[in-house]
Amino acid sequence: MNYGFVKVAAAVPSVRVGDCKYNVEQMESQIIQANNQGVEIIVFPELSITSYSCGDLFFQRLLLEEAEMALINLLNFTRSMNIVSVVGLPVSFRGGLVNCAAVLQKGKLLGLVPKTFIPNYKEFYEQRWFQSGANVQEGNVLICGQQVLVSAHQIFKTTSCTFGIEICEDLWAPIPPSSALALQGADLIVNLSADTDHAGKYEYLRTLVCQQSARLLAGYVYVGCGFGESTQDVVFSGKAFIVENGTILQEAPRHSLEEIMCISEVDVERLRAERRMNTTFGANAALVRDLPVRIVEAASVMQEDGVQTRAITPHPFIPAEGPDRDMRCKDIFTIQCDGLAKRIVHTNCETVVVGISGGLDSTLALLVCARTFDRLSKSRRGIIGVTMPGFGTTDRTYTNAIRLMQQLGITIREINIKDACLQHFKDIGHDPENHDVTYENSQARERTQILMDAANQMNGLVVGTGDLSELALGWATYNGDHMSMYGVNASVPKTLVQHLVRWAAMNIGDNTTRDTLLDIVDTPISPELIPADMEGNIQQKTEDLVGPYELHDFFLYHALRFGFRPRKIFMLAKRAFEGKYDDEVIKHWLTTFYRRFFSQQFKRSCLPDGPKVGSISLSPRGDWRMPSDASAELWLTECKNL
């Protein structure tokens, strides 16, 4: 089972201009390497059999015949291999020459795809030699002893994916051929290129490829000519990268004097899920409904299970390291602030009321409130921070709550809930020594009642603190912390909350506030509804009860973002958390995730408003609509059989 992945390779062989025998021998070496690593499709540069920079040698009959003989040798070489190879060569067709990509497998030529757009400007003058595939009528040609279709309107189908081909300049066109190919069903686009190099061009090209991949919701394999091409007037640096929906999975170093090959797995199932959800993609398919296309079947290709080269991040919600991380964190934080600012202005409220526990969620919500009031030129004294010590409150969280509110300069109210809860226990006949769900939820609802009534007192609105991970697991008290007048953290998962608080500590706080925020980050996650232990330490740790949030956030991301089934999520989690969690632990918490996710939908069906900050939201008005009584049986059964 390959779990919906296709392993592909972008290969840049060493070449000699016009030496077809040598060039094919180099390609054969890379095909063997790729085949031994389970690659299903390997792609070589434009005109890779002859080399691109042959100039008027393309008019020489000897070169054309040698190119065909070299292709015959390559067909014979791959006769016993399942790998699909895509190579470039000039082909005599209908009285002229076409610059073609040849698709071959197991000794058979599956098709020839001609280049559509032939550049004839600046350093390029290909129209001197080649005709456009758009200007010649498609048809069969006898080559290598086989009748082979020459057509730009072909999609090739392998075991794991369908792929289309464009050649170099085709990508630079206002409407590239790949646009139609993707709308006609190609999951993957391969581009055989001979793009020349000059300062700044590589960055532009990377952007172009990534944008086309993202626009098409497709994988994209780009490979360009490298060392050995003529440098009479230009240099070829050997560009090669593999992209999935706008993200570069693998990239080869440029300017190598040796052969280059980069390999990665493209998640075709993920791409197809994106297309199913994106109704605009489906609507555009009507634009190519009447265009001709042929589906060419390849032989079955056996792949190894899972992924071997592709990195699987264990924290998909946390911005990747690099120069853009600070900007991404700032964007998320600002989106939260913008949402709250609009709500404050619309309701014309004088204050906002936030329950401050000294934990992560309420800390992030308070930071959002402080920044929002600053942007609205309002005094932070209008932020009412209410700390409500209860039976499980520890000195550490209480101290951090008070200290943070003081450091941010907001109005502090302290209301102890113990007496009110004891009276409530008496009213309903509950033994306060029985620390069951009634004991816990009574405290959560008492706190919410206080916040709501305090907001009424001060013409304010209650800012909710609950996060996306808690909503997914139902780890919230219905009509308790589940409820607010605006939930600024509603689409921020726990792992991201933790990261944002740490980011805020390092980027927007002074030294004193930084120390408090970092201590909050290091505090065990807990609702603090059960009394502390004899030493005053937190006894009720959330992750001991529902499981590690980093696992649940991983499950949540892949289940909702792409609709992956439990079996695939399990495989991905094993790879992402290798050495940290064993298989049984992952399976246990994956089962818990699905059980809780389905059973707790009723809490999500009546959520307060809150801003969407990322690709996933559980708002019943936005991204997620699900019956509260949907059965989890299919998902739990698959978890059981892992």
Q: Which of 7, 20, 40, 46 is catalytic?
A: 46
Contact 257, 231 (CB under 8 A): no
Where does 301-458 show beta strands of DSSP type E?
A: 351-355, 383-387, 411-414
Helix axes 549-561, 583-599, angle to 10 degrees: 60
Q: How far apart are the first and last CA of the chain?
A: 13
Q: Which of 115, 239, 568, 603 is catalytic?
A: 115
Contact 500, 494 (CB under 8 A): no
- Cβ count near 437 (within 10 Å): 10
Q: Which of 100, 168, 337, 369 is catalytic?
A: 168
Q: How many CA atoms lie within 13 A of 119 on its CB side?
A: 15
Q: What angle do CA 374, 379, 382 make, to 5 degrees?
A: 110
The string over 364-381, giving b where at least 16 C-beta atoms fall within 10 Å of a residue's C-beta and e elsewhere, is bbbbbbbbbbeeeebebe
Rounded distance between C-alpha atoms, residue 517 and residue 496, angstroms: 15
The question of whether 115 is a catalytic residue gets the answer yes
Distances (CA, A) of 550 to 319, 494, 560: 14, 8, 15
The two beta strands, 139-143 and 108-114, are unpaired
Q: Helix or strand or coil: residue 244?
A: strand
Pull the structure tokens for residue 112: 């020839």
Distances (CA, A) of 194 to 51, 224, 240, 323: 9, 5, 11, 30
Rounded distance between C-alpha atoms, residue 533 and residue 249, angstroms: 48
Closest-CA residue to 343 (of 611, 121, 48, 22): 611
What letter represents residue 153's amino acid? H
Distances (CA, A) of 158 to 5, 78, 151, 271, 328: 12, 16, 19, 16, 38
The question of whether 46 is a catalytic residue gets the answer yes
The question of whether 100 is a catalytic residue gets the answer no
> Phi and psi at residue 413, in whole multiples of 5°?
-125, 135
Residues that are catalytic: 46, 115, 168
